[in-house]
Amino acid sequence: MTTRSQSWFAKTEVQPTAKLQLFCFPYAGGGAYIFNSWKSRFAPDITVLPIQLPGRESRSTEAPMDTLQDIVQSLVPAMAPYMHKPFAFFGHSMGALIAFETARQLYSKTGKLPVHIIISGKSAPHLPYSKKRLHDLADDSFTEELRLMQGTPEEVLQNAELMQIIMPRLRADFKVCETYVYQPGNPLVCPMTVLGGMKDFEVSTDSLHAWQQHTTSPMDVRMFEGNHFFIHEQEQEVMSAVENILSASSPMAHAAAAHTAYNTSTPQPRFRQS
């Protein structure tokens, strides 16, 4: 029987020769399936480990979690069996927020950090949440807001029976983002790359650059054609960029650096268009 710990990770064959494990955190409403194509795309020395949140796919019978604190506190212990190799994080939108807070909690509890964190489509966590609150809207209004966001297929929005199934997890995920309160702390010491969509009008380039204050290591901002879901619109380009970022990293060197004292210098971010 699958344990709750094991169920956090979609079934993935971990290659013994892999040098790096890439944990992938999905956006609101998404499941581990959004990273299926990533598993076969990356080189054999990178194992892709999609995070499977409660309430979807293989965990569809579980109640979704609606606070970031609950997610992180349950996820961090479940990651323990995977901490024997260098690892990196990728998270899009809500997933970026989960990745960031998971990295903070991991360091606090174990002294370990990712060799690289790739943030995608998410404003820096200390900035005020400026979007409309959606999680407690009436069903019709909630569905219309999803339509405006262009992240849910129209055939799904028009399927009342299916919407009743997925709406609880969507509401829970939006509540995670809308009720999140950033708690100040020391910046992380691992390198960070921030990805954004050039037509993502919800996440400004300034808010992407603002992630710099959350790491003392170099930070790179890269922009892609597309809206908030540019990771699908430009999937091949995004996967190539992620693979290049990780290939350019020196896992062992970064892992060692992650255990050193905090560096007080703050490098300026570099802006690059991809």
Tokens for 1, please give them.
């029987």
The amino acid occupying position 269 is P
Instruction: Give the pair of three-digit tokens for residue 265.
Output: 């210098």
* Cα-only R_g, the chain: 18
**Of the candidates 95, 85, 74, 108, which has an alpha carbon nearest to the alpha carbon of residue 21?**
85
137-165: b (≥16 Cβ within 10 Å) or e: beeeebbeebeebebeeeeeeeeeeebee
Confirm whether 265 is a catalytic residue: no
Pairing type for strands 192-197 and 219-224 reads parallel
Q: In what order do the strands lie in the sheet with 219-224?
A: 46-50, 20-25, 87-92, 117-120, 192-197, 219-224, 270-273
CA 233, chain centre distance (Å): 17
Q: What are 77's two structure tokens?
A: 């212990």
Residue 169 neighbours by CB distance under 10 Å: 24
From the list 7, 93, 123, 249, the catalytic residue is 93
> Under a CB-based contact definition with an 8 Å cutoff, are residues 232 and 152 in contact?
no
Tell me the C-alpha to C-alpha distance, in Å, between residue 65 and each of 9, 23, 54, 236: 16, 19, 7, 31
Is 64 within 8 Å of 168 (Cβ atoms)? Answer: yes
Active site residues: 93
